[in-house]
Copies of this chain bind each other. A is one copy, B any other.
């Protein structure tokens, strides 16, 4: 039988996993809003970020309460402080999905993404959702082996980001400076989203193995 203390530790982990699910949905919907110029989906991503922020505040409060009341031993303590950091990364991921959605809203009813870059942005959205989904599995299962997969997903994201930039830098780019600036920033949002997911997974690896995570 589990005691209340371990139930509370697990409940915090569940909240972190829920955050990965929410921000995964957010980046998927934000990408849809951006590609289809869908204002109502964009608004729903922007409004929905509050629930991510609330969970993060809840994780922070529960963590500090648990440390104060239970004085956990070193391993549990490290798990708890790692959770604080994971929650911070995931809150930031939610903000980045909001930035994507806000561009969709600002450009509405026009579409921010020209036809020839729709596939690249679509793939960036898919990789972003995939990578944070895997980060969620790593958090849920404390599965350090799986974490390596995220690094290669992150390489795919970097490649897509380079493709995006190179397309805009070609001499025949016909969409002007304004579209290029918007897409350069959007590319950065997806790239950072993936970076945060990788950071989440690395923190679990560090927790499980005690190995120093690679520096960002």
Taking Cβ atoms with an 8 Å cutoff, the residues of A that contact B are: 53, 57, 60, 63-64, 67-68, 71, 73-74, 77-78, 81, 84-85, 88, 91, 95, 165, 168-169, 173, 176-178, 180-181, 184-185, 188, 212, 215-216
Contacts and interface: CB of A to CB of B under 8 A. Distances in A.
Contact of A67 (B67, B169, B184, B216): B67
A115 to B, nearest CB: 18
B178 A169 contact: yes
Given A63-B81, A88-B85, A173 B184 contact: no
Instruction: Please give the count of copies of this chain that the complex contains.
Output: 2
A181 B169 CA distance: 9
Given A81-B84, A95-B216, A177-B177, 19 more contacts: A53-B215, A57-B212, A63-B81, A64-B74, A67-B81, A68-B77, A81-B81, A84-B84, A85-B88, A88-B88, A91-B216, A168-B181, A173-B177, A177-B180, A180-B181, A181-B181, A184-B184, A184-B185, A188-B188
Chain A contact residues, majority secondary structure: helix
Contact of A84 (B73, B85, B177): B85
A81 B88 CA distance: 12
A77 B67 CA distance: 8
Contacts of A95: 216
B74 A68 contact: yes
B84 A64 contact: no
23 contacts: A64-B77, A64-B78, A64-B81, A67-B77, A67-B81, A68-B73, A68-B74, A81-B81, A84-B84, A84-B85, A85-B88, A91-B216, A95-B216, A165-B181, A168-B177, A168-B181, A169-B178, A176-B177, A177-B180, A180-B180, A180-B181, A181-B184, A188-B188
Q: Most chain-B CB neighbours within 10 Å: which of A53, A57, A64?
A: A64
Nearest to A183: B181
Nearest to A170: B177
